[in-house]
A = this chain, B = another copy of it.
Amino acid sequence: MYRIGELADLCEVKADTLRFYEKHGLLTPSSRTDSGYRVYTETDAARLRFILRAKAVGFTLNEISELLSIDLDKSNWVCADVKGMVDVKLAQVQAKIAELNHFQASLQSLSDACCGGPRSAEHCSILEALESSTDSVRTEHDHELHLHPFQEPTDHFNDLGKAAHEKSGN
């Protein structure tokens, strides 16, 4: 038997969260004290742990509601039903990962092209890339050129060397 704060501490959740789960039908305490305090049994605690484990693998609370009702009525469901839910979620997660991998690659190429230094953002290749319609990103390879405008012919060599370091835009 736990009061709300005890169960919350036990499962490293806030009491507010337990009230929220109750409001949404996921976890109703088995009883109340005379004064109205929620009283959770060990069974309630097990149900909370189920919820938290399902959350830890990426299910939403709505999906967890479904899983809970299946769990309480197993004989009317088959493995295909349960595995179906997992596989749908898996596909969603994989789709999201793919999207974020796109973001990650784009951000990395923007970051790589920018010197990150104290020079004016007027020359910043990140802003330039966001302004322009092309997908390629210019690398900021012209620092010394700006700082030393009167270069010797050997700077052509520098330019070529730097150019070789540049990432090609996609």
- List A residues at the B interface (Cβ < 8 Å): 46, 49-50, 53-54, 56-58, 67, 70-71, 74-75, 77-84, 86-87, 89-90, 93-94, 96-97, 100-101, 103-104, 106-108, 110-111, 114-124, 126-127, 129-131, 133, 140
Contacts and interface: CB of A to CB of B under 8 A. Distances in A.
Contacts of A82: 114, 121, 124, 126-127
A107 B93 contact: yes
A121 B70 contact: yes
A154 B10 CA distance: 48
Contacts of A46: 131
A53 B109 CA distance: 14
B114 A54 contact: no
Nearest to A51: B130
Contacts of A97: 97, 100-101, 104
For the complex of A and B, list the 5 residue pairs with the smallest distance between their C-beta atoms, beginning with the closest: A58-B103, A83-B116, A77-B121, A57-B106, A90-B107
A134 to B, nearest CB: 10
A50 to B, nearest CB: 5
B104 A90 contact: yes
Contact of A86 (B53, B86, B126): B126
Contact of A56 (B57, B71, B79, B106): B106
